[in-house]
Structure 1
């Protein structure tokens, strides 16, 4: 998965035009991709727009909810479950 592309889209979604938050955003994007691939067992396909946009939306939510202890929004949970089903479930 192209983390630079995810990063650019996250910044667009958040309306960030400078590089001031890049270090923090890069860490979030990297952790999201690692979590999805390593913990959830989903193989992210670089050319799959659904995978790309899920990573963007998940990273954006992580950034915006950094001080919030609430649960993941329902639409993200639903999409994550669909990704798990499509990939054959969590791999041991």
Structure 2
């Protein structure tokens, strides 16, 4: 997954135009991609728009909820579960 594209889309989604938060946002994006690949076992496909947009939405939620103790929103949970199911089903 191209983290530069994910970072760019996260900034667009959040309405951030400057580069001031790029270091922090980039760390979140890299953490999300690593978590999905290493911990969740999802093989992210750069050409798959649903994978790209899930990374964007997940990283955006992580950034926006950094000070809250609430659980992941249901729509992200459902999408994550579907990605895990599809990823496990596609391995030989």
Bin of the TM-score, shorter chain as denominator length: over 0.9
The residue aligned with 2:83 is 83
Q: Mind listing any 5+ residue stretches in structure 2 that lack a counterpart?
A: none
The CA deviation at 1:71 is 0.4
Stretches of structure 1 lacking an aligned partner (at least 5 in a row): none
Alpha-carbon RMSD: 1.2
Alignment size in residue pairs: 90
Alignment of 1:17 onto 2:14: no
Alignment-derived partner of residue 71 in structure 1: 71
**Aligned residue for 1:40?**
40
TM-score, length of structure 1 as denominator length: 0.95
Q: 1:88 offset after TM fit, Å?
A: 1.2
| Distance across 2 between alignment mates of 1:8 and 1:53 | 12
Structure 1 moving runs of 4+ over 6 Å:
none
